[in-house]
Amino acid sequence: MEIKYVSTTCPYCGTGCGFNLVVRDGKVFDVAHWQRAPVNGGKLCPKGRYAHEFINSPDRLTKPLIKKDGGFVEATWDEAYDLIAEKFGSYNPDEIACLSSARTSNEENYLMQKFARVVLKTPHVDHCARLCHASTVAGLAAVFGSGAMTNSIKDIAESKCVFVLGSNTFEQHPLIGRSIIRAKEAGGKVIVADPRYTPTAKQADLYMPFISGTDVAILNGLMQEIIKNGREDKEFIEKRTKDFEKLKEVVMKDDYSLENVSKVSGTPVEGLRTAAEWIATADVATLIYSMGITQHTVGVDNVKSTANLMMLTGNLGKPGSGVNPLRGQNNVQGACDMGALPNVYSGYQKVTDEAAQKKMKEMWGVEEIAEGKVGYTVTEMVNVLAESPGKLKAMYIMGENPMLSDPDLGHVEEGLRNLEFLVVQDIFLTETAELADVVLPAACYAEKDGTQTNTERRVQRWKKAQDPPGEAKEDWKILCELGSRMGYPEQFAFESPEAVFDEVAAVTPSYHGMSYGRLDPDGLHWPCPTEEHPGTPILHRETFAMPDGLGVFSPIEWKPPAEVPDAEYPFVLTTGRTIWQWHTGTMTRRSWSLEKEAPIGWIEINPEDAKALGIKDEEVVRASTRRGSVEIPARVTPEIIKGVMFIPFHYKEHPANRLTHNALDPVAKIPEFKACAVRVEKITEE
Ligand code: SF4
């Protein structure tokens, strides 16, 4: 019996923890701590600890499937490829769309956008960053010139004031939570603002409950208080920024006095005053946010407002400071970096820039690629499918499950059913794969080499520990075989993920200096422009990545969510996750150690609201919005602010996204998962 240990990177959240997969006789059977792992030093949260359990699930897809007479039949790879090539070849480029995946490697995301642009010649390629941090990419790029976490995870421990807004860090990025605890142990203050009294909030020195959707009002109120007390960092503002006077004109309005902000947000004046004082007077402060900030119709405004606060207080470009969005999926940062987005090639080179188009055509050795227009986002694809049937006719979805992850599931299903031809490539037969015409069985993270980029822009290796089950193949290999079969053998003649990465490095300025050899064992933070460059854990030290080097203040007025409570739907619904499950549950719900901890969904209701509705703890209630209804057990708890209700979105039996609203941020096109109007009622016997 041979046992070996293969060090790799966790497939769940964007923290990017490293661990060892333990392999016996060619099969992974456990996870073991990897003490020198660069991000987590051997520590793991429950999801990482049990990240081996789904790998050899009997539910894994092992053969290509083709739908015939409403059911799936097993097929050979040749049959599946032939059908896909014939069908995709029969549509105009503008009629096909591709979804890439933040669960797959950088190399695979790079290949998917190359496949879309070179082979299909469609501009319509996107991935699930649209649902979580599209507003970060757009918002931070507009104010700093770079749409990513400004500092490193380790760096948070050096902060003297950590302001966590819209992030349940201890449950969703637990190993980043460790850095917050370290900051606290070193005497730093921790402020948490959240509608729920989460495990993160419980660690705070100051907890600020607030009504979902009032972030800009709170941030403007804090800035007014700081300016009123003369605590803004005048030197930083003068030397490093522009448009401060425009910001001041808005935030000094009476609307943003602490009293008025308190009325709008439900958070007490005293908490707001203390937060303003702590942030402004700390030697160094950092702001951490996640999807509580981004998943709104004002997601970009929210992101820009967080940047306003940190520029106002001079908290950028130094250890312990920064604006730090915590990316959700393991490789959502990398999928964006690789250009699996409708508006940019890898390294955020704009598709509308003729010089970038020329560069890509030369690198890819083709005369023609998707014309240089911005394609549809995920959310626009669904809207086009549902509302303009026939405009999009075929889709290729790799490793995504919109039938559970996207807002307003009725609308999503209507859209996907309007497709003439759907290909889904995944490791399990997901709710989305069930609607497909062809299903391609893919390898999981433990079955392939590759790289992923974590939330702090650190590019790290995945290493193969076992073979895929049955005839399943690595996503990069499937894309190469399909690309070759569809007429581009030279463009997809890669023998290994390393060869793909070398092309990524050649064509992507922020990855120019990277190679597999340099990534072992600690990875490298981008930008890493040359082979000698050590990587960049802290951005914006001297200047911002703008043409004039200055950060841009953005005057922003608070706007309410697209749908606010009324007499018919009197509460605010917000959604999120639990530490035990991951997104649509395809992996965690097949991991016994995790599933047994949180096997069913629930709706959190404040005791005062529950009393008024006559609802008891654990009673099954009906939650309804204008999109649909879900019957779900109530969890009556004071740990949620009155007037707001919460449902985790992992459970197909209690699908939160049947209720959510697909109203979009006008710039980032991210949906408003975090606030819509809901009615909750007792279920009475007929
Ligand atoms: Fe994996 Fe994130 Fe947990 Fe680390 S914190 S073990 S990356 S799920």
Query: Mean pLDDT over residues 6-30, rounded?
Result: 97
Residue 130: predicted pLDDT = 87
Ligand 1 mean position, distance from CA 52 (Å): 13
Whole-number Å distance between alpha carbons of 440 and 398: 9
Instruction: Answer yes or no: is the C-beta of 223 below 6 A from any ligand 1 atom.
Output: no
d(CA 416, CA 123): 19
What does the mean pLDDT of the chain come to?
Answer: 96
pLDDT tens readout for residues 222-247: 999 999 999 999 999 999 999 999 99
Q: Indicate which atom in ligand 1 lies nearest the CA of residue 12.
A: 8
Residue 191 has pLDDT above 70, yes or no: yes
Distance separating alpha carbons of residues 454 and 9, to the nearest angstrom:
10
- Cβ–ligand 1 distance for 174 under 6 Å, the answer yes
Cα–Cα distance between 27 and 43 in angstroms, integer? 23
Q: Which atom of ligand 1 is nearest to the CA of 173?
A: 5
Q: Does residue 686 register a pLDDT over 70?
A: no
Residue 444 CA to residue 104 CA, distance in Å, equals: 8
The tens digit of pLDDT for each residue in 62-102 reads: 999 999 999 999 999 999 999 999 999 999 999 999 999 99
User: Is any atom of ligand 1 closer than 6 Å to the C-beta of 12?
Assistant: yes
Asked if residue 44 has its Cβ within 6 Å of ligand 1, the reply is: yes
What separation in Å is there between the alpha carbon of 592 and the centre of ligand 1?
A: 17
Q: Which of 41-55, 230-244, 663-677 has the lowest mean pLDDT?
A: 663-677
27 has a pLDDT exceeding 60: yes
Across the range 561-569, mean pLDDT stands at: 96
Residue 613, pLDDT score: 97
CA of 15 to the centre of ligand 1 (A): 6
Q: Is 202 exposed, middle or buried (0-12, 13-18, 19+ CB in 10 A)?
A: exposed
Q: Is the CB of 594 under 6 A from ligand 1?
A: no
Is the CB of 13 within 6 Å of ligand 1?
Answer: yes
Confidence at 131, pLDDT banded by 50, 70, 90: confident
Which amino acid residue places its CA nearest to atom 4 of ligand 1?
A: 17
Ligand 1 atom 2: residue of nearest CA: 13
pLDDT of residue 685: 61
pLDDT digits (tens, 9 = 90+) for 493-533: 999 999 999 999 999 999 999 999 999 999 999 999 999 99
Nearest ligand 1 atom, CA 330: 7
- Cα-to-centroid distance, 587 and ligand 1 (Å): 14
CB of 455 closer than 6 A to ligand 1? no
Q: Which atom of ligand 1 is nearest to the CA of 13?
A: 2
For atom 3 of ligand 1, the residue with the nearest CA is: 45
pLDDT of residue 684: 76
- Could you identify the atom of ligand 1 that is nearest to the CA of residue 582? 8
The reported pLDDT for the residue numbered 133 is 86
- Give one DSSP letter per residue of 76-109, joined into a string: -HHHHHHHHHHHHHTS-GGGEEEE--TTS-HHHH
Please choose from 8, 10, 103, 453 the residue to mutate so as to test ligand 1's pocket, defined by most ligand atoms within 8 A of CB: 10
Q: How many CA atoms lie within 13 A of 603 on its CB side?
A: 35
CA of 14 to the centre of ligand 1 (A): 7
Going by DSSP bridges, is the β-strand pair 344-345/349-350 parallel, antiparallel, or unpaired?
Answer: antiparallel
Q: What whole-number percentage of the chain has pLDDT above 90?
A: 95
Q: Across the strands, what pairs with 394?
A: 96, 421
Question: Using one digit for the tens of pLDDT, what is the confidence trace for 404-456?
Answer: 999 999 999 999 999 999 999 999 999 999 999 999 999 999 999 999 999 99
State in Å: Cα 177 to ligand 1 middle.
11
Q: What is the pLDDT of residues 364-395, one digit of tens each?
A: 999 999 978 899 999 999 999 999 999 999 99
User: What's the pLDDT tens digit per position in 150-161?
Assistant: 999 999 999 999
Ligand 1 centroid distance, CA of 74 (Å): 35
For the segment 565-594, the average pLDDT, to the nearest whole number, is 94
Cα(226) to ligand 1 centroid in Å equals 36
DSSP 390-432: TSS-EEEEES--HHHHSSSHHHHHHHHHT-SEEEEEESS--TT
CB 34 near ligand 1, within 6 Å: no
**Are the C-beta atoms of residues 576 and 168 closer than 8 Å to each other?**
yes
Enter the tokens of residue 77: 């790879």
Spacing, Cα 205 to ligand 1 middle (Å): 25
How many angstroms separate the alpha carbon of residue 102 from the centre of ligand 1?
A: 15
Which residue's CA is the closest to the ligand 1 atom numbered 1? 48
Pocket test for ligand 1, best of 13, 21, 31, 200 (most atoms within 8 A of CB): 13
Mutate to test the pocket of ligand 1, among 34, 40, 290, 591 (most ligand atoms within 8 A of CB): 40
Question: Ligand 1 centre from 430 Cα, in Å?
Answer: 23
All structural domains of the chain, each given as residue ranges with its CATH number in brackets, are 3-49 (2.20.25.90), 65-126+377-456+483-525 (3.40.50.740), 134-325 (3.40.228.10), 571-682 (2.40.40.20)
Token reading at 354: 């003729």
For residue range 177-186, what is the model confidence (pLDDT) as tens digits?
A: 999 999 999 9
Instruction: Answer whether residue 118 shows pLDDT above 60.
Output: yes
In a 10 Å sphere around its CB, with 0-12 CB exposed, 13-18 middle and 19+ buried, how is residue 231 labelled? middle
**CA 328 / ligand 1 centre spacing (Å):** 10
Instruction: Please report, to the nearest 10 degrees, the dihedral formed by the alpha carbons of residues 638, 639, 645, 649 taken in order.
Output: -140
pLDDT at 183: 97
Tell me the best of 15, 176, 331, 594 to mutate to test the pocket of ligand 1, counting ligand atoms within 8 Å of each CB and taking the most: 15
Ligand 1: does its nearest atom lie under 6 Å from the Cβ of 641?
no
Structure-token pair, residue 63: 């053969």
Q: Is 47 in the pocket of ligand 1 (CB under 6 A)?
A: yes
How many Å lie between the centroid of ligand 1 and the Cα of residue 442?
A: 22
pLDDT at position 554 over 80: yes
Q: Is the CB of 398 under 6 A from ligand 1?
A: no
- CB-ligand 1 contact for 39 (6 Å cutoff): no
Model pLDDT, residue 258: 98
